[in-house]
Structure 1
């Protein structure tokens, strides 16, 4: 990411190009203004140029010029909508260029300097450090064992002061029991937001006031006793996932070269991937290649309008969830509403400060990613759904064939799961499913793909992983899952799983489907006694 001096240098270069263009724009406005008294047909062209100038001038720091251009644009629009032209108004518009040029010569300070938003740092693949401030020794021990099984590094604390003195944590779990406990009133937990790690609160009370107190302390999760540990771990994972992910992708559709370059530079400097389109004929091709999470669309362009292009995008069901944000100097509420009703999602009125641009894009992109992710994922486990994991498998298999790199697939099934539901109830069965999904997600790599194939069955796609490596990895997860202790109605029990593993390696590319081979290996693992792995060569491990 470029540093601030470099960014400012680049912004200055873009502004210099805009300043040169302004001279030509004002010369054109002078010519159009002079034509008005003899040729009123020049009024629409004058209005359009004033509109474009009103939108871009303020963004580049020419605030007064932009405000006056907008006022003149509105006067021109009023004349176009009138039943007959007002000679006095036309005379005033003939002086448009003369009114604007002096303002260009004023050295205005910029209304907004570019601001950097923290786009997050690359993950260093270390174990997450989870602090425990839990007085109940039994609960603390059980929680430490569970979190350790999921791959977290657990650090217990005896006092809030010890938390404050500890190295940085990724999350902190606090037990506020018994009722009347004033732990959250300790000065350590009265710090400003951002100075403490994400807090997860455990309480023996499930009341509005206890939840409100947790929120005021900065909690991101609230759990009542007895604690659903798999659900707590899932909340941890969800919070960590929201801090990660690749950079947002934003597509800018605008014919204004300098303005587009400025938007692109400001967004890119904040860690956002940006692509641009100025030719509408290339729009759909760019959409499919770039797959944007937000589209920034100029409202008025020479040969087409923003709403028209937005509707073209919406004709494809693949893009229904992508937010389209209009960028325009349009201030008329009715016209803004008309544009939004056709296909848009938001409206930013030019001139646009860098902070407004960044805030809007981040909010829209983050929300779009959350919605898209939620629709592709199973509601119970948060894993990819049946169709989505099959699609990921096809993509990884094709990639592996092109690169001649290995890829493995594991089909995983919880042993005797029907007995769990029959003996302890479906709610407890859901906990078992969530626990295994959380453990798989924690212990597999980020490049791996994981989905709930159906019921208690899971599929893991492991790119670059031989069958031997996949077997070793799944075996360690199997042992950890065996050690997990579940409870229901005062009864404790353990669960296990069986798995079938198939792979394509080097030149040994089989014609059969990887998933079918893994399924057959899973069947052999079950026939061999369950709680074991079996490769597609039929050899139990």
Structure 2
């Protein structure tokens, strides 16, 4: 399939079509103004298995480069615009090694010298044998792979290293100038140091490799993942707001928590905590973002694992989702509680999401169980799994600072109350209960959540 666009940089539809058909083949970006030759060049490159994208306007090249992340650039320097582009790339991408092949006519020696001075790695004469160009492209792509492996890739995990992060962050800030924010997710694997201490650093290294491969295979090609250090990772999401970033990370966490890490005949499950920052101010420095994210995560993780912190511009709080689980075998109570909670008058920066379940078995078998939730309203007597059994299992997975539990029961025995509180219930409501009483308790738990965040 010939991807050839004379007027605009490659759009997302084009990219998705290429992804679906070609998979992981190397990508070549061509800037051209010679419409007579370049269709033939594109065809020759594609026949050899490369993905080819073409741009005919200088102002679109940088955006296309950031979107596509090609392994090689071919630039037509027959006109002055080609040299303007070389100059622009030389200024904006000094820290990135990307082989650039300039193309011109054979009698323009001065232009060849100028192309090299402005950063071109090679020069190809248009009238030359096209097979020679194919050999050069292949050689440059192979060199880039070696270079990237040495300088930009973390040796242990295979994702980008932290030395490459400042340059990519700077590039993404270019989008902010055109009112296109981007997101940064700072990820910290939970209880990693304890795992290392118990099973050894080699097993810990394999956990890092497991997570890096897992995340790398799920982010988009336009996204960037870095190992920041130790068990910390950073993901940059271009042209993404904090809500979109949070939705993706929540799905990533939900799946990761259900994927066993198998090592030495044993299976382990892990999780991570994350701070997501939306950058909508080009003046916001990377170091400031990282410091805010690390501080926020450190403070949150003192109160338990698997924390989400979201912010706009690294400062303002993003809308917080308050998640409530209702576990009760009485359909009338489930419906009544769901309607009550959904109609509650919340502050403007808090949204509410409610899920109900017929019993504890249905709850633990649901995807919702693996997500973040803040409050569980739990019936004491249920079929299949008793309410106290559900509470006991919940407290093994989440501590008091991560989750609040309100027990519902028609029993008034003091022993029932004592047992519920021993197992970690935060409050207890007797049936039949007063709506205002339950509503007041839920609001209290929400205020406690806001104080933690």
Q: Structure 2 length normalisation: TM-score? A: 0.49
Structure index of larger Rg: 1
Give the structure with the higher percent helix.
1
TM-score by length of 1: 0.42
